[in-house]
Structure 1
């Protein structure tokens, strides 16, 4: 088969659940291995290929960068990317061992890691240790449900949290899935912010729900827009992140939350409240589950605040028959929640280690946020908490793709700009996460690369104007 040229190479992407950049990388690898792309062939410019395939520029850039790291291609500034000699090539390693991760919103691991050994010793002395070898009830073991309710009350402002309406889950993502399943059916459309947590988008796509993204302002979802939208269709629910909204980091005031509650009651909307970041904003107003307990599914957990590997989430359901509906779904899909992650979380909550871990994480995140503000300056939207785990760089979708691509070529991975967008053109920009790097030195290197990318994008935009 003759080698494909710059003009006519259009890869065929296989269907599947893998990220698009991985499928593009697989197509590139396959064409190199079959000889469809010969050694020395020049790949299309990233922007041209993105337009041809209908993909975001950042997606194509990510595939090209990964191809270079895998030894499939080599890039030359000003000339382009070329297929290396040989079918497979050799892996190319960056000097720091890989990309600097500013895309993943997790807490620094040190505080939890330093206590794990002692915690495992303590677990051996627990009277309920062997209970965790059996199936838990669908809502979880009582000790873990009680601990979860206590944790939500003291770390998330959920005053009066009722453990009898709490369901333990395999992470907050499963809690979201259970909440969506309790209020929506296949084909229903759920209201949400114009840009929201990517897990909500993935869940909706997988479960056959539609999402209608609504305009936001400096406090998040606008109640007037919610009122107008709810009046025009048969909507059952609205999904909201009121505290440190993902991706923007905005926090709703008490007054804004009251307005949202009034609209929800007016149109009989259920509220799915994702409050996973409440621990990073101790002074945030009370959650919707306090303001409107009769219609709020409250989602939280410890993955973002203690350790992601615990996969321990919590779902507080409204009074009534919602608990039965949720538990039927648990039985059908997983039969029971996992026990051992919840056991570690329970031990930490009961003996106070969770409070100490969080205090140390908040101190570290305060320092990291100060570093981000110093390096990125006015490029970021003013953070609404001194220990916010991510910052938001508002800009057009095109500039956001350019920034993400430049950062990636510099060795830094930020959240793909298109990942949170539900309704294009309303709330666009780049989320930069501050907790995933091993230390502040790596974070500083990454932030400086992002700052350079911001300056490059600004210069290009001024040139176009």
Structure 2
């Protein structure tokens, strides 16, 4: 078919305006279901657009379920839209299993009524948090993260690990500074950097995570002030650094005079693959961030930051006072109570066991398409794919009723680490997770939902 799009005027990128024109013509019926679209190179020539512009627009249209692509046949207007949101199997949110925490939260709130210090939760908390809560979280860092020997005076409480990241980077950097990170990174870092005015540069990964040689080269070329990384079960790839790799990263940071922001929210899931954190190897330059969200419950906003020196600690406390005010003492009280009586560890162990079962199911269904993570259990799983193929697989999965994390969400810069992240624990029922994984397996094989494999 000959289709000449009419692009609306505006400041949006060309590929977004081309996508909008395609969506509009599909909605109005100018492009009915089953219509074969022009080849990307032909459309680029006819419309006077770059081939890359057309490629990005087609990929985005496929992910939204507007078109479907067939290798060797071309791209066609889809015959049906994605299922409604309420019926979706959501594999895009990286949450822990919630059942055990939900069963115990009412009991925890009931116990608060009998605490002699309950009324202190109505007052403003100290900047770093109540000392008793800080002592409990120092114990949690030893249990969950392997960061031992901390006194409560070294622990600063915050509203979850995301806020901890913001505080740590704010203490190490100023607006306009460059922050290095994995080239496929935790996606919450990107809006944080945008809001704070940091320039992100992605660093190449290998099978253990961030490559020390690439880190050194990026630091020299950019003059970066800090590096943010997840050494254990890196999000999104699930890769874990060996002890030797952690030593190499620490050594590189020393030679390049980099602050390290170490995010360790998944450490306990690694089991016997867990190693001492980088903060134990380079305590003089590492801001250590952790919390309870991935191990116990995401709504329990009990995060922790450990600064490398008194000056960094004071900058964090100043930011807490000036930007956030007093923290949520009720959440911290429940967190401390659960840590002290062993409930937090019991919930975490149960969640880890469930995550281990789900990971085994996913690896069995997806086979060699999935990269085995660097731990005995993991909340997320990485599917290495070329960038365009990742968009296509996500689109097929979406039309089959499975929501995946957008392929470009974790990407920083022009790297080679590309693929899709699957989150294994947000779906409550194992049977529904299995259904979603089989839809993803079909999407990886190039099948739309309802198509059967050809022998």
Q: TM-score by structure 2 length?
A: 0.85
Q: From 386, 408, 411, give the equivalent of 1:421.
A: 411
Deviates more, 1:445-454 or 1:334-343: 334-343
Is 1:351 the counterpart of 2:341? The answer is yes
SS of aligned partner of 2:181? strand
Q: Which whole-Å CA distance do the structure 2 matches of 1:11 and 1:303 have between them?
A: 44
Is 1:440 the counterpart of 2:430? The answer is yes
Structure 2: unaligned runs, 5 residues or longer:
45-50, 67-74, 448-455
Aligned length: 424
Cα deviation for residue 81 of structure 1 reads: 5.4
Residue by residue, what CA displacement relative to the aligned partner does 1:264-292 show, whole Å, maximum 9, x if unpaired? 11121110001111121133110011111
Cα deviation for residue 253 of structure 1 reads: 0.5
**CA 1:8–1:435 in structure 2 vs 1: closer, same or farther (change >3 Å)?**
same
Is 1:160 the counterpart of 2:160? The answer is no
Residue by residue, what CA displacement relative to the aligned partner does 1:362-383 show, whole Å, maximum 9, x if unpaired? 1111110010011000001122
Is 1:221 the counterpart of 2:218? The answer is no
SS of aligned partner of 1:198? coil
**CA 1:336–1:81 in structure 2 vs 1: closer, same or farther (change >3 Å)?**
same
SS of aligned partner of 1:190? strand
The answer for the alignment partner of 1:234 in structure 2 is 223
Aligned pairs for 1:134-283 (under 5 A) are 134-283=123-272
Residue by residue, what CA displacement relative to the aligned partner does 1:392-442 show, whole Å, maximum 9, x if unpaired? 111211111111111111111111111111122321111111011011111
Q: Which whole-Å CA distance do the structure 2 matches of 1:341 and 1:55 have between them?
A: 44
The answer for the alignment partner of 2:288 in structure 1 is 298
**RMSD between aligned residues:** 3.2
The answer for the alignment partner of 1:80 in structure 2 is 77
Is 1:98 the counterpart of 2:87? The answer is yes
Cα deviation for residue 116 of structure 1 reads: 1.1
Q: Which whole-Å CA distance do the structure 2 matches of 1:181 and 1:92 have between them?
A: 42
Answer whether contact 1:393 1:431 (CA < 8 A) is retained: yes
Q: Which whole-Å CA distance do the structure 2 matches of 1:58 and 1:299 have between them?
A: 36
**CA 1:396–1:318 in structure 2 vs 1: closer, same or farther (change >3 Å)?**
same
The answer for the alignment partner of 1:71 in structure 2 is none
**CA 1:133–1:58 in structure 2 vs 1: closer, same or farther (change >3 Å)?**
farther
The answer for the alignment partner of 1:8 in structure 2 is 5
Answer whether contact 1:42 1:82 (CA < 8 A) is retained: no
Is 1:400 the counterpart of 2:390? The answer is yes
The answer for the alignment partner of 2:72 in structure 1 is none
Q: Which whole-Å CA distance do the structure 2 matches of 1:348 and 1:138 have between them?
A: 22
Q: Which whole-Å CA distance do the structure 1 matches of 2:6 and 2:121 have between them?
A: 55
SS of aligned partner of 1:167? strand
**CA 1:361–1:92 in structure 2 vs 1: closer, same or farther (change >3 Å)?**
closer
**CA 1:180–1:301 in structure 2 vs 1: closer, same or farther (change >3 Å)?**
same
The answer for the alignment partner of 1:320 in structure 2 is 310
The answer for the alignment partner of 1:131 in structure 2 is 120
SS of aligned partner of 2:422? strand
Aligned pairs for 1:27-66 (under 5 A) are 39-42=28-31, 59-61=60-62, 63-64=64-65
Structure 1: unaligned runs, 5 residues or longer:
66-77, 85-90, 458-465
Cα deviation for residue 162 of structure 1 reads: 3.0
Cα deviation for residue 232 of structure 1 reads: 3.0
**CA 1:407–1:291 in structure 2 vs 1: closer, same or farther (change >3 Å)?**
same
Answer whether contact 2:63 2:391 (CA < 8 A) is retained: no
Is 1:108 the counterpart of 2:105? The answer is no
Q: Which whole-Å CA distance do the structure 1 matches of 2:62 and 2:119 have between them?
A: 50
Cα deviation for residue 178 of structure 1 reads: 0.6
SS of aligned partner of 2:289? strand
